[in-house]
Structure 1
Amino acid sequence: MRQFFRSGILGVSMGIATALLPVSSVGQSIGSDKNTLPDIGVVASEVLTLDKEMLVGDAIMRQMRGQAPVIDDPVLTEYIQDLGNRLVLQAENTKFPFEFFIINNSVMNAFAFYGGHVGVHSGIITRADTESEVASVLAHEVTHVTQRHLARRALSQQRSSPLQIASMLGSILLAMANPEAGIAAMQTSTAVANQLNIDYTRSNEQEADRIGIDILYQAGFDPKAASTFFGKMAEEYRTSSRPPERLLTHPLTEKRIADARNRMRRYPDVRLRPSLSFNLAKARLLARYQFEPDYALEHFKAVVENDTFAIRDAGLYGLAIAYLANEENLKAKQINDQLLARTPGNLFYVDLATDIALAMGKADEAIAMLQKELEHKPRNSVVVLNLANAYMANDNHDAAIELIRDYLLVHPHDQLAYQLLSNAYKAQKSYKGMHQSKAELLALYGAYPNAIDELQHAYNYTGDDHLEKQRIRARIQQFRDEQEKLKQF
């Protein structure tokens, strides 16, 4: 499904975010280390309870959706969430569900913040050679969350004034998505930021390295990938202009690289086949998000001709995406049909098949294919949202609305679903539903004043439906209450 881009939506002004720009290597030693971890929950909870941490994390995530280039792609979102969940299953001290997401940024960074949110830059995936390397970064960030390093840092921040903390943390939030843009803002609060970053890294990085590596190994990945990717990131900064140290809460030091390599010796060799899903995700990011269409076509032609992708079918997939982007639909279809024949039901291929069919004006074919997939994967985001999009292309807006409304009962934070729903209501000239859907979408960005405005527009279309008027008034009050909660932080 081709991405729907939001335009000009800004989240509420929030300052409570601790960016953890990833460094790569992660780990915990084998054996009894798990049983000797410090009881960190009590001290951390003194300053930030788990309930409050989840509220703060939700507020930050809304701002990230509104301000950062979050890739709103069901196929990639499902991939990174599944990969992250494999690691979380092996982690101890998990207190809430994790949400993993991808930022469209070629810089090799990742970060974690309150409430189990972990963001990874697309550059991590496109520059990694194996799935284990990506997993090593995620395991490191998962460890920061499960060990409540962010809450511990909040405790240290009590030494500074609220104004200084808000200034510094707001700048870090900006730096998550765009490090260069964050530099100027950081300069206004460097003194407190520098001290807090030093305190944070000294007290927590060893623990994240030690524990995360064991999570990586227990989840079935190659633990040596942690040190190899560590070295890859060090080389990246060695040959390019390095961001200011204050923007990196995970400084790349030779000692940390050496420690990671020494730790690897304690683990047995793990030999894994190349991951098809990882290589498909990498090809999709390159072809659809990183390269311009003409360059993507030339790049993937060369990849296929020289057989330079770890899995040939992933290179062919990238080429099919590039053909579609260059409006060579038939060539894209011929390649993708072969891929689907070899791996039926693969959602990367199913998604592309839908885009190709719609580009060729064959919505009926897409609907028939997706309805079969829906029988086996009910409420799967890739299938449902593609099917809704195909219904809309076929002017069956009622079916699209029914499908999306049912899906949102299980996935209430899916912004792409609300965008599609709003478009479907608009095509029907059902303006009440359109404004209500826009309101929910704006709320996901933390733009509550704008969301309230949309609900007030929806109210004007309710006619004599007094029950609906009451529902809208109640929802407006809920948004106002959410605004008030933010002010308490």
Structure 2
Amino acid sequence: MPGVRAMLLAAIIAMSATVQPLPGHAQNLPSLGDTERESLSPQMERKLGEQIMRDIRRDKDYLDDDPVLEYLNNFGTSLLTAHPEARGEAGYDFFFFPVRDPMLNAFALPGGFIGVHSALVLAAQNESELASVLAHEIGHVSQRHIARMLGRQKQDSLIPLATALLAALAVRGSPDTSAALLMGGQGVALQRQLNFSRDAEREADRIGLQILREAGYDTSGMISFFARMQNATRSYTDSAPAYLRSHPMTTERIADIQARTRDLRYKQRADSIDFHLARARLRVLQDPSAQGLREASIAFDSQLQLKARVPVMSAKYGQAFIALRQGNAAKAQSLLQESVAAANGASAPVQSPLIASMAIDIKLAANDAAGAVREADAARTKYPVSRGIARQYADALLRVGRNDDAINYLRDQAQLYRQDAKLQDLLARAYAAQGKQALQHLALAEAYAINGSMPAAIDQLGIARRAGDASFYDQAMIDAREREFKARWMEEMKEEQQRER
């Protein structure tokens, strides 16, 4: 997803023009230094991350798939629970999200947002390997590496950093272009920034190993996966000159990790069922074209030849997902049943929110809304914290015309999850079904505001005010939200003007 890197660079450069030094206080951080992170407060860092995420969510390669999102966030949260110190001094709420990208990579954004390339999840052979990458990226966030990088930029020009990053990307296509870009930078400042990044990578590796150990994962997963990533990206890293490698050489990092884990016992940990189902789902989502679905189907056929329970279960699930995307609900239902049968060949029945979610989707695709309500009602009881299943339940209620029930349920959910724009969209649908125009547009305004589109949110409030069915209470709510939204918009415009100076 090249656009993500460009957006991150642009946002860092833009934000650094408005950031002012803030008082710091001593922290027990490793050798990168405390004074270098004083220029970006945790609140500003989070705000920067949210701004970048608004752009990423609009990108076609952002995989807004509830089952995969929930798997990644449940998995990432389990790592943070095992090592609470990893939340860092700021105590961020982390958010893990998948992007469609063929490179084996993951990246950390300011404020606790961590992106995972689809190809990386597919390349991970077990959850310990996936945990090693997420733990490494958590290390970047917990140590506030971007904030500390911006602290260095108080002393060094931003231009050499931008030059280095552009050159590192350009070298993939043209070494000559990379050399030309590099000549425009200042050598000393460039080397300082790159050295800092190398130190940051080593520090993130150390934090990642602590997280893996305390979460009970096999630390050798980091070694094996780094080696696989090195082989997959060898053509890129070998062609880049040493002074352009912001990450330390992978062989160097592997050697360092091996030294740190030499005396640790091997710890085998069974993978969760959800890991294999999420990988199957991502294999389909990675390339949704007709050719991509054919290639995914071939891969699942190969898995079936293994005859083992877990590969058969995940392959059947993947085939069911393909059938669902192709509009064949009956075939999808049959394949999902075969997947469940393979999974339940274990000593205890296997349950998964990914299976429950697909069962609901299949009922909806088959226009069996009543069946979808029954499936979703049972699933939300079994998985009460699943945001995706909660939204599926509301959608099913709307499909069968139970608008009052949907509105009551969605209002309760919106009170619990105030930053869930999808709930507000569903609430707007429910109000529209009842002909309640003022409430419909008020809900749409909330959805736009959550997504950071303040002008659109204010426009929706104007439409709500002009609706003939707006009550006195509705008008008061519209006025209050309009004052708040306009104040937020004015603040955003002020920041934008400051950046342009």
- TM-score class normalised by the smaller sequence: 0.7 to 0.9
Residue 247 of structure 2 is matched in structure 1 by 250
Larger mean CA deviation between 127-136 and 430-439 belongs to: 430-439
Partner of 1:118, secondary structure, is strand
Displacement of 1:272 in angstroms is 2.0
Residue 49 of structure 2 is matched in structure 1 by 57
Partner of 1:222, secondary structure, is coil
Displacement of 1:196 in angstroms is 6.1
Residue 138 of structure 1 is matched in structure 2 by 134
In the alignment, structure 1 residue 69 sits paired with structure 2 residue 48 = no
Displacement of 1:428 in angstroms is 4.1
The structure-2 alpha-carbon separation of the partners of 1:376 and 1:349, relative to structure 1 and needing over 3 Å to count, comes to: closer
Displacement of 1:207 in angstroms is 1.6
On the 8 A contact 1:323/1:332 being kept in 2, the answer is yes
C-alpha separation in 2, matches of 1:323 and 1:295: 14
C-alpha separation in 1, matches of 2:143 and 2:125: 28
Larger mean CA deviation between 385-394 and 409-418 belongs to: 409-418
The structure-2 alpha-carbon separation of the partners of 1:428 and 1:40, relative to structure 1 and needing over 3 Å to count, comes to: farther
Code of the aligned partner of 1:438: L
Residue 191 of structure 1 is matched in structure 2 by 185
Code of the aligned partner of 2:271: P
C-alpha separation in 2, matches of 1:49 and 1:189: 33
In the alignment, structure 1 residue 114 sits paired with structure 2 residue 106 = no
Displacement of 1:105 in angstroms is 1.9
Q: TM-score under structure 1 normalisation? A: 0.80
| Larger-gyration structure (1/2) | 2
Displacement of 1:293 in angstroms is 3.3
Give matches, 1:22-421, under 5 Å.
38=30, 42-67=34-59, 69-89=61-81, 90-92=83-85, 94=88, 95-96=90-91, 97-161=93-157, 164=159, 191=185, 194-195=190-191, 197-238=193-234, 249-291=246-288, 292-307=292-307, 311-340=311-340, 342=344, 343=349, 345-421=351-427
Residue 456 of structure 1 is matched in structure 2 by 462
C-alpha separation in 1, matches of 2:244 and 2:99: 17
Partner of 2:115, secondary structure, is strand
C-alpha separation in 2, matches of 1:409 and 1:189: 55
C-alpha separation in 2, matches of 1:473 and 1:446: 14
On the 8 A contact 2:9/2:162 being kept in 1, the answer is no
Residue 488 of structure 2 is matched in structure 1 by 479
On the 8 A contact 1:439/1:455 being kept in 2, the answer is yes
C-alpha separation in 2, matches of 1:84 and 1:297: 29
Identity of aligned residues (%): 29
C-alpha separation in 1, matches of 2:181 and 2:437: 46
Kindly provide the CA deviation profile for residues 189-233 of structure 1, in whole angstroms up to 9, marking residues without a partner as x. Answer: 972795464133233222222221121121111100101110111
Displacement of 1:282 in angstroms is 0.2
Partner of 2:103, secondary structure, is coil
Code of the aligned partner of 1:275: S
Code of the aligned partner of 2:185: A
Displacement of 1:117 in angstroms is 1.6
C-alpha separation in 2, matches of 1:442 and 1:262: 50
Residue 24 of structure 1 is matched in structure 2 by none
On the 8 A contact 1:112/1:144 being kept in 2, the answer is yes
Displacement of 1:289 in angstroms is 3.7
Code of the aligned partner of 2:41: T
Larger mean CA deviation between 296-305 and 98-107 belongs to: 296-305
Displacement of 1:417 in angstroms is 2.8
The structure-2 alpha-carbon separation of the partners of 1:42 and 1:234, relative to structure 1 and needing over 3 Å to count, comes to: closer
C-alpha separation in 2, matches of 1:300 and 1:81: 25
Code of the aligned partner of 1:468: M
C-alpha separation in 2, matches of 1:212 and 1:323: 39
Displacement of 1:67 in angstroms is 3.9
Q: TM-score under structure 2 normalisation? A: 0.79
Code of the aligned partner of 1:77: L
The structure-2 alpha-carbon separation of the partners of 1:440 and 1:106, relative to structure 1 and needing over 3 Å to count, comes to: farther
Kindly provide the CA deviation profile for residues 413-460 of structure 1, in whole angstroms up to 9, marking residues without a partner as x. Answer: 334333433444444444434433333333344332333333333332
On the 8 A contact 2:110/2:141 being kept in 1, the answer is yes
Residue 476 of structure 2 is matched in structure 1 by 467
The structure-2 alpha-carbon separation of the partners of 1:252 and 1:141, relative to structure 1 and needing over 3 Å to count, comes to: same
C-alpha separation in 1, matches of 2:394 and 2:297: 29
C-alpha separation in 1, matches of 2:182 and 2:440: 42
On the 8 A contact 1:122/1:285 being kept in 2, the answer is yes
Greater RCO structure (CA 8 Å; 6+ sep): 1
Kindly provide the CA deviation profile for residues 1-20 of structure 1, in whole angstroms up to 9, marking residues without a partner as x. Answer: xxxxxxxxxx99962289xx
Kindly provide the CA deviation profile for residues 210-266 of structure 1, in whole angstroms up to 9, marking residues without a partner as x. Answer: 221121121111100101110111101125797967997435443223223333323
Code of the aligned partner of 2:68: L
C-alpha separation in 1, matches of 2:459 and 2:192: 39
On the 8 A contact 2:161/2:193 being kept in 1, the answer is no
C-alpha separation in 2, matches of 1:432 and 1:171: 48
Partner of 1:107, secondary structure, is coil
**Matched residue pairs, number?**
454
The structure-2 alpha-carbon separation of the partners of 1:202 and 1:378, relative to structure 1 and needing over 3 Å to count, comes to: closer
C-alpha separation in 2, matches of 1:348 and 1:211: 31
On the 8 A contact 1:227/1:260 being kept in 2, the answer is yes
Partner of 2:416, secondary structure, is coil
The structure-2 alpha-carbon separation of the partners of 1:189 and 1:106, relative to structure 1 and needing over 3 Å to count, comes to: farther
Larger mean CA deviation between 404-413 and 476-485 belongs to: 476-485
Partner of 1:61, secondary structure, is helix
Code of the aligned partner of 2:296: A
C-alpha separation in 2, matches of 1:200 and 1:428: 58
- Give structure 1 stretches of 5+ with no counterpart: 1-10, 19-34
Code of the aligned partner of 1:286: R
